[in-house]
Chain A
Amino acid sequence: MREVAILGVGQTKFGELWDRSFREIGIEAGFAALQSSKLSSRDLSALYIGNMASGTYIDQEHVAPLVLDYSGLAGHHLPSVRVEAGGASGAVALHQGYLAVASGLYDFVVVGGAEKMTDVPEERGSAIASSAVDQEWETVFGATMPGLWALIAQRHMHEHGTKREDFAQMAVLDHEHAGKNPFAHYRNKISLDAVLSSTPVASPLGMLDCAPSSDGAAAVVLGPLERARKFTDTPIKISASQIATDTMAVMHRRDVTTLDATVLAAKRAFQRSGLEPSKIQLAEVHDSYSIGGLIALEDLGFFPKGKAGGALADGGLGLGGKLVLNPSGGLKAQGQPFGAVGIAQVAEIVRQLRGEAGDRQVSGATAGLAHNVGGTGATAVVTILERVN
């Protein structure tokens, strides 16, 4: 098996991009990724696209060849594959590209992620989002996506003494970082009080605990590490890309306050990379709901169970800290175009490891971790990236 490197990354701004179509944002991200490497589209073997729900958001399936076509590559007749895994579609797509390059079957591939979520009204958007959980035994009984995360939060508070303020801090931190990220959906700062008093959605979660619906796309170019220097001065090695799964419904989990899929994906990823949590200087974690970010810190191994709340409340996870959490602004503030999330997390870590993150640069970063979740934790993907010297 070959080592795989990321040779280039690109992404669009995330937000309400009403003047831009799905294919336009897909192409922009893909070309930006190619341009940040020295690769030409002629060098490519395949395209992968992570996308959760184009069929319901924009009534368009079969989006992989569509984006390839409008990228001017239809004449190359490349394999072009869409990958779906709920909100983890992006990182699962990345895993497919990683496998293909690692195996030697393909040399250079583009892995993109895209979602166009704001063409539908808000209520319709919420219904589509909840199609990533069990429609027959959860949503049909009145469950919503924030409602299910709220059930996890309430139980976490009960069992581990976590406070409402602890996970509210996650949103505050995200907004602080997003102010320094030109791609972010929301660049304003928010106060702890603003989160605590935000419009209730599903107690204990308020509106400012919830990541937005965003349009956006991101892409990375992958190739074999041994040939990477020809195409970039700063190849970033994929030290691990691990997927784990769990029960579809929250009610069936071994422990409602733990995402076992995250625990296992992280364990395998650390094993594979030979690293441990203390060696990671920055992490992009899946905080579609603030409580998800808190639990991720525990499940990934950064803090013992029940201790992430205190760590968030104490601060110290911002820029300048030993572990910098969500320098991009996370799902909450950078935005949450489902299929693009997992790729955008990886793109941010690559920019950081290359030293190209501008005002939000984590100084001297050599290793970063991305954590992408589908549904309420039925899929979790952990990707570990390292700078190569």
Chain B
Amino acid sequence: MSVARFWRETLRRYNLGGSKCTECGKVYFPPRSVCPHCTTHRKTMGRLEPVQLSGEGEVFSYSVVHEAADGFEMQVPYVLALVRMKEGPILTAQLVDVDPKDVAIGMPVKAAFRKLKAEGAGGVIHYGYKFAPVLSPTEKVG
């Protein structure tokens, strides 16, 4: 992916910036300029406001990927998931800091800022969100 193409979405990818319909209140990620939910969606054009997601959510579905996406070869096997955010929208992202065997639907997770991939040996490094399990206060990392 070209530098500019990745760069123009960094705000959303770094900060989980979504959008919220000022008519119906539904939250979208990535942000949309028209609300697909409102029946008179023409009325919502340009009337969605930016909203930052909390980063809290739960695993909606998952898969342990063994044949990597382009640029993710060094990470296999990795867990790919659909994460349902507290605010409603579902995101596609990797799960990290977890043994693939321990992943389950419904597991609470929280967004983490991580390196996604590099564009070859000399290319730019892309950063963005992944999700890690929420540890209870009695659990320790490591």
Contact = CB atoms under 8 A, between A and B. Distances in A.
Interface of A: 123, 126-127, 130, 135-144, 146-148, 150-155, 158, 199-205, 249-252, 256
Contact of B63 (A130, A135, A137, A150): A150
B65 A202 contact: yes
Contacts of B92: 137-138, 141, 143, 148, 151, 249-251
Interface residues of B, number: 36
B65 A147 contact: yes
Contact of A154 (B30, B62, B69, B72): B62
Nearest to B78: A142
Contacts of A150: 63, 65, 80
Interface of B: 1, 5-6, 9, 30, 60-70, 72, 75, 77-78, 80-82, 89-94, 105, 116-117, 126, 128-130
A137 B80 CA distance: 13
A140 B67 contact: no
18 contacts: A126-B67, A126-B70, A130-B69, A136-B1, A141-B91, A141-B129, A142-B94, A143-B69, A151-B63, A151-B81, A154-B62, A203-B63, A203-B64, A203-B66, A251-B82, A251-B89, A251-B90, A252-B90
Nearest to A146: B67
Nearest to B128: A141
Nearest to B93: A141
Contacts of B5: 136
A142 B65 contact: yes
Contacts of A138: 92
Most buried by A among B1, B69, B105: B69
A135 B69 CA distance: 11
B41 to A, nearest CB: 14
Nearest to B63: A150
Given A127-B70, A249-B92, A140 B63 contact: no
